[in-house]
Amino acid sequence: MASTQDDGDKPKSKRLFVNHVDQYHGKNLSKYLSRCVVGASLDEPEEEDDAKSTDSFIPPPKEGCYDIVGTTKEKGPNVATPEYVKELVNFDNKDQLYEFLVECDVIVYDITEDPDQIDEAVWAVSELHSDLDKIEKPKMFILISSVMTWAKSKPLDPDDPEIPFTEDDYRRRKPHPNFKEHISAEKTVIKLGKTNKSKLVTYVVASGLTYGAEEQIFHYLFKSAWHNAPELLCFGNGQNVVPTIHIKDLAAVIQNIADSRPKVRYLIAKDDSNNTLEEIVKCVSGNLGTDKVKTITKEEALLNKEIEQNDFDMLLVNLRMDAVNVKENMRISWVSEAGMVENIQAIVKEYKDTRNLHPLRVCVLGPPASGKSTVIKQLCEHYKLHHIRIKDVIDEAMENLTTTARRADAEDQEEDEGKAQDAQELLDAINEGKESNNGRLEDQYVLRFFRDKLLSMPCQNQGFILDGFPKNIEQAKELFQSEDDEEPEESAKATSYNKLIMPEFVINLKANDDFLKQRIMNLPESEVVNTHNTEEGLVRRLEAYRSANTEEETVLNYFDELEFHPEDIDVTKDSSPMMKDTVEKLKKVIGKARNYGPTPEELEQMRKQEEEAKQKKEAEEKMEKERKEAEEASERKKRQEEWTSRLNEVKREEYELLEAQSIPLRNYLMKHVMPTLTQGLIECCKTRPDDAIDYLAEYLFQQNPQVD
């Protein structure tokens, strides 16, 4: 192969196409290859921390790496370009897609996840093949197919079915009935790569079932185990051998092919393991779940909504295969060469890191009756955490010890005989301690039960909230003591603690005694009877709390010295129902949840609640609007009536005023004017002169009493 560097120049990158970079295979292959320097696999392997790292952090790419060009399954203008992709292909038709393909040096098509991609992959390689005369730069086409195209292959030796298949046997392979299109695509790709190898070289990679990162086909196992399912389900008898490969190791195989152009065109990609399905299920259950496995029939398995038919077929495959060319001719820094079972702890860590499924550990402290349990219950529901109360922990531990101890008397329990004997001895020691301690359980056993509980899988998976424990510094030091340092040195004591169970958030609910007593007094009698919250019980518990937590010496100091600074919340200022205000404050302190989020059922329930709340709000707003409109109409009517009444009153007063003002005028006219005027009019009527007005005027002038 030609050198990837010019003399003294920087490494030259290559354009590498990957389909569906937003899906499990495409995403993880692209992430890996975008950090691979072109030709790096041809050199002696160095320390490749980036490739082997299981962290989700993506370091900046080096110079001369593969430039990833890709498509996405999700379409639309809002699809963002992933940071590990150089260029995202948005196309309306295949002609537009082909323009991008022809500009790439290496084209990788994965057909294991989406069967719809089979036709597109065959079309792509056929188009490249038909344009060989026009292509200037040589192209490499890599088809990632599935070992399911071997699923029905006859054993190489009927007398020895454990002889593994190798690449040399690929012409004898027989596919699973649901994977006939895959084998047809494989044959087409191999055939088209034989015409002109200098222009177009093709490869087919038969990939084992992939695992690692956020998980894909085995995700149902990891998710069930993380969610504390009582048992993990194993389909069939579980004795079928499942070929597997870590997704980063598959990416390394693709890198080697792209760098070295191997002579073998058909390659098997799998790790060295030959684990059965039962072994895989058991190791996941033991390292992430309850360590229990339940075998169910294939018919029962098909009813599982978590598993699709395609995945179901793959999980039941029974194939022994040997990836000879990968092991002998490729330089791979294996992430999981020995397989899933051997590397399960690293794989579980990678799964949690990639999906951000880290436990939330919280400790809520405070005086009795300060509302710790009320607040914790709501926080546990919101974050889906485990509520750790002293009584529950002790009761559960004692019940488990009693159950285990009973096995000592049962028959055919040789394996558990040692555990049963140990449990009985511990119970005897606990009972002896109670007799000498007024019936109270000694601290050493309480702390032992707490430590076992916090280290249990459920608490390590989701997390927990400690309810009012530890109560003092001595208990805190003993409970959170590092397991590595049973007797730490004096200088290391301050910083030595068990990181698996140490709370990240320490909450201190503050309240004065008067407030707490008043709160208990306001409780209904039914909630106080037969509890610690009687007046005498509260006073006794408060005295014990205050004596164990003085200003100079308090359990809060222990956390403070370890840089887990307590968050003080004054509950005396919270008058909301069920202390909702305090809960909201703590949600802001703790931050976002670190889990799968709401289930589809919970999302549907939340949607219904939101819809009901919206409808209720709209109904209330409508009623309020109608009420306001009725009030406004009533007010308008009232104002109109008042206005009309006032207007009539004003008119009446004006009329009366005019009447009063007109009386003197009428009297004057009647006395001085009307007698003469009336007589004049009468005379005018009698005489009937031609000019009545002139006659009347002459008459009035003559009859004027003031004229001599």
Tell me the whole-structure pTM to 2 decimals.
0.80
Residue-averaged pLDDT of the chain: 87
Q: Which distant-in-sequence residues (6+ apart) come within 8 Å of 181 by Cβ?
A: 115, 118
In which band, very low, low, confident or very high, does the pLDDT at 460 lie, cut at 50, 70 and 90? very high
pLDDT, average across residues 460-467: 96
**Does residue 507 carry a pLDDT above 60?**
yes
Closest CA to 250 of 217, 202, 210: 210
Q: What is the pLDDT of residues 282-294, one digit of tens each?
A: 999 999 999 999 9
Sheet with 67-70: list strands edge to edge: 87-88, 67-70, 15-18, 106-110, 139-146, 200-207, 266-269
**Does residue 440 carry a pLDDT above 90?**
no
For the record, the structure tokens of 480 come out as 């959170």
DSSP for 435-494, written as a single string = HTTTTPPPHHHHHHHHHHHHTSHHHHHTEEEEES---SHHHHHHHT--SS-SS--GGGTT
Alpha carbon distance 461, 285 (integer Å): 12
Domain ranges within the chain, ordered by starting residue: 15-355, 360-590, 600-702
pLDDT, average across residues 194-209: 92
Q: What is the pLDDT of residues 485-494, one digit of tens each?
A: 555 444 444 5
pLDDT, average across residues 289-317: 86
- Tell which wins on pLDDT, 489 or 138: 138
User: What proportion of the chain, given as a percentage, has pLDDT over 70?
Assistant: 91
- Tell which wins on pLDDT, 46 or 204: 204
- pLDDT for 706: 62
Tell whether omega for the bond before 470 is within 30 degrees of 0, i.e. cis. yes
In which band, very low, low, confident or very high, does the pLDDT at 195 lie, cut at 50, 70 and 90? confident
Q: What is the CATH number of domain 15-355?
A: 3.40.50.720
- Tell which wins on pLDDT, 707 or 355: 355
Strands 15-18 and 106-110: parallel
In which band, very low, low, confident or very high, does the pLDDT at 136 lie, cut at 50, 70 and 90? confident
For the record, the structure tokens of 279 come out as 């072994």
Considering the four listed CATH numbers 3.40.50.11740, 3.30.930.10, 3.40.50.11820, 3.40.50.300, the one that applies to the domain covering 360-590 is 3.40.50.300
Q: What is the pLDDT of residues 595-620, one digit of tens each?
A: 988 877 778 888 898 899 999 999 99
Q: Among 385-389, 405-409, 493-497, which is the least confidently predicted range?
A: 493-497
3-state helix, strand, coil in the chain (%, to 5): 50, 10, 40
Closest CA to 390 of 529, 519, 565, 541: 541
- pLDDT for 4: 44
Q: Among 160-169, 279-288, 661-670, which is the least confidently predicted range?
A: 661-670
In which band, very low, low, confident or very high, does the pLDDT at 50 lie, cut at 50, 70 and 90? very low
Are the beta carbons of 163 and 157 closer than 8 angstroms? yes
Q: Find the radius of gyration of the CA atoms of the chain.
A: 45
- Tell which wins on pLDDT, 197 or 355: 355
In which band, very low, low, confident or very high, does the pLDDT at 197 lie, cut at 50, 70 and 90? confident
- pLDDT for 10: 55
Q: What is the pLDDT of residues 83-128, one digit of tens each?
A: 999 999 988 888 999 999 999 999 999 999 999 999 999 999 999 9
Are the beta carbons of 203 and 143 closer than 8 angstroms? yes
**Does residue 707 carry a pLDDT above 70?**
no
Q: Taking each helix axis as running N to C, give the angle between helix 117-130 and helix 180-192, from 0 to 180 degrees, rounded to the nearest 10.
A: 10
Q: What is the pLDDT of residues 637-660, one digit of tens each?
A: 999 999 999 999 999 999 988 888
- pLDDT for 185: 96
Alpha carbon distance 508, 582 (integer Å): 11
Alpha carbon distance 387, 509 (integer Å): 17
